[in-house]
C-alpha cells in the first residue's frame, strides 16, 4: 500500500490530475469531451513532468558534480574489457539528458585516448537511459516497465560498445579527434554550497532547453489521447501489425526530442492500444538515433563507423521491441 501511494500520488501525481479536472469542470469545461480531455491531459502532463523534471535535474546534477569529465575519464580508464563498457554505460546515466549534449563528451573522452568501444557505450546509454527517465517512466508505466527499460538500454549500450571495440574501428574516427592532445586538468574541489549552486544552474539551463520539447510532446500526446481513434493506433502499432516495431523505430529517427518530451507520446500510444515493445522502440529511436544527433556525430566519425553505430542501435532497438511485445504480460 505504501508503494502504491508513492507510485500513484507522489510520482504519478493523481491528486494533481483530480484537482485540475475539478478546476476545469468548475470553469464550465466538460473534461469528458475531446476538447476538454485534451486540455485536461495537456495541463496535467505539463505540470507533472515539469515538477518532476526540475526536482530530478536538481538531484542528478548534484550527483553529477562529483563526476566531471576528468574524473569520469579516470574512472573509466581504470577498467578494461567488458567491465569498462559497463562502467561507461552506468556513467551515462548521470550525464546529459539528450544525445546532442552527450556527443561533445564522447568527443572529449575519445580525444583523451579512452578505448573507442568504451566511449560508444557511454554515447548510447547517456541519452537513452538516465535516472530521470527511470523516475518518469515509473510515474507513468510502473516500476517493472521502468526497470526493464533501463536494463535493456544498458545492455544495448554495453553490447554495442563491445562490438565496436572488437571490430577495431579506430581508423574511422576523424583525424582531428585522434590527433588531439589530451590535457589533464584537475577539477577543483567544490564545496557543498557550490555543488548546489551548480545543480540549480543546471536546472535552469536544462529546463530552458527541454521545456519546448515537453510542450510539443505533451501536445502530440493530447492529440493522440483524445482525437486519434483507438482502432487506427491498434492497426498501425498493435499486435495485428507484425512490422509495428520496425515502423515505430523508423518514425522515431527523424524526430528530435529527449526522454522527457517522448514519454507523453508513449503514454498516449499505450492508452490507445499500441504494444509495449513498439512504444519502447519508438522512445529509444527518438532519444538515441535522432537525425540532428547523427549529423553532429558525423563530424566526429567517418561514414563507415557512423553506419555501424546506427546499424547496431537499430538492430538492438528492434530486437528489444519484439522481445517486449512477446513478454509484455510479465510486466503489465
Tens digit of each residue's pLDDT (9 = 90 or more) over 45-62: 889 888 888 888 888 788
Question: Which contacts qualify for 188-194: CB closer than 8 Å, 24 or more apart?
Answer: 190/65
- What residues make up the domain containing 292? 34-178+193-330
In this prediction, residues 93-121 reach a mean pLDDT of 76
Count of structural domains within the chain: 1
Residue 29 counted as domain residue? no
Q: Are 273 and 228 in contact (CB under 8 A)?
A: no
**CA quadruple 23, 25, 29, 32: dihedral positive or negative?**
positive
pLDDT higher than threshold 80 for residue 118: yes
Predicted pLDDT at 23: 94
Q: Which burial class, exposed, middle or buried, applies to 217 when counting CB atoms under 10 A from its CB (0-12, 13-18, 19+)? A: buried
CA distance 229 to 282: 19
CA distance 114 to 74: 9
Predicted pLDDT at 272: 85
pLDDT higher than threshold 70 for residue 181: no
Best CA proximity match to 252, nearest among 221, 278, 286: 286
Residue 303 counted as domain residue? yes
Residue 186 counted as domain residue? no
Predicted pLDDT at 99: 58
pLDDT, tens digit (0-9, with 9 covering 90-100), for 139-180: 777 888 888 888 888 999 999 999 999 999 989 988 877 665
Quick one: pLDDT band at residue 186, thresholds 50, 70, 90? Answer: low
Predicted pLDDT at 60: 78
pLDDT higher than threshold 90 for residue 304: yes
CA distance 225 to 262: 14
Q: Are 255 and 290 in contact (CB under 8 A)?
A: yes
Residue 25 counted as domain residue? no
Residue 18 counted as domain residue? no
Amino acid at each position: 500500500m505504501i508503494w502504491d501511494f508513492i507510485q500513484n500520488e507522489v510520482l504519478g501525481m493523481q491528486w494533481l490530475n483530480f484537482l485540475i479536472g475539478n478546476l476545469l469542470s468548475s470553469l464550465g469545461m466538460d473534461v469528458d469531451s475531446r476538447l476538454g480531455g485534451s486540455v485536461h491531459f495537456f495541463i496535467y502532463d505539463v505540470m507533472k513532468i515539469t515538477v518532476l523534471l526540475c526536482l530530478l535535474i536538481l538531484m542528478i546534477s548534484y550527483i553529477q558534480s562529483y563526476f566531471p569529465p576528468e574524473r569520469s575519464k579516470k574512472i573509466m580508464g581504470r577498467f578494461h574489457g567488458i567491465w569498462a563498457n559497463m562502467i561507461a554505460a552506468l556513467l551515462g546515466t548521470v550525464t546529459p539528458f539528450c544525445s546532442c549534449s552527450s556527443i561533445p563528451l564522447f568527443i572529449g573522452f575519445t580525444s583523451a585516448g579512452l578505448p573507442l568501444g568504451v566511449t560508444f557505450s557511454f554515447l548510447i546509454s547517456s541519452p537513452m537511459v538516465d535516472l530521470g527517465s527511470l523516475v518518469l517512466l515509473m510515474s507513468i508505466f510502473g516500476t517493472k516497465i521502468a526497470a526493464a527499460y533501463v536494463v535493456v538500454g544498458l545492455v544495448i549500450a554495453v553490447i554495442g560498445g563491445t562490438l565496436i571495440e572488437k571490430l577495431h574501428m579506430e581508423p574511422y574516427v576523424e583525424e582531428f579527434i585522434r590527433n588531439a592532445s589530451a590535457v589533464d586538468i584537475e577539477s577543483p574541489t567544490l564545496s557543498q554550497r557550490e555543488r548546489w549552486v551548480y545543480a540549480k544552474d543546471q536546472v535552469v539551463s536544462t529546463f530552458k532547453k527541454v521545456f519546448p520539447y515537453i510542450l510539443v510532446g505533451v501536445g502530440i500526446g493530447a492529440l493522440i489521447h483524445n482525437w486519434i481513434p483507438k482502432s487506427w493506433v491498434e492497426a498501425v502499432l498493435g499486435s495485428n501489425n507484425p512490422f509495428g516495431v520496425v515502423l515505430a523505430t523508423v518514425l522515431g529517427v527523424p524526430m528530435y526530442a529527449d526522454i522527457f518530451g517522448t514519454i507523453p507520446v508513449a503514454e498516449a500510444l499505450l492508452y490507445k492500444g499500441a504494444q509495449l515493445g513498439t512504444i519502447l522502440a519508438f522512445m529509444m529511436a527518438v532519444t538515441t538515433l535522432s537525425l540532428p544527433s547523427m549529423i553532429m556525430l558525423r563530424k566526429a566519425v567517418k561514414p563507415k563507423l557512423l553506419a555501424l553505430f546506427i546499424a547496431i542501435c537499430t538492430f538492438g532497438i528492434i530486437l528489444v521491441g519484439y522481445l517486449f511485445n512477446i513478454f509484455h504480460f510479465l510486466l503489465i
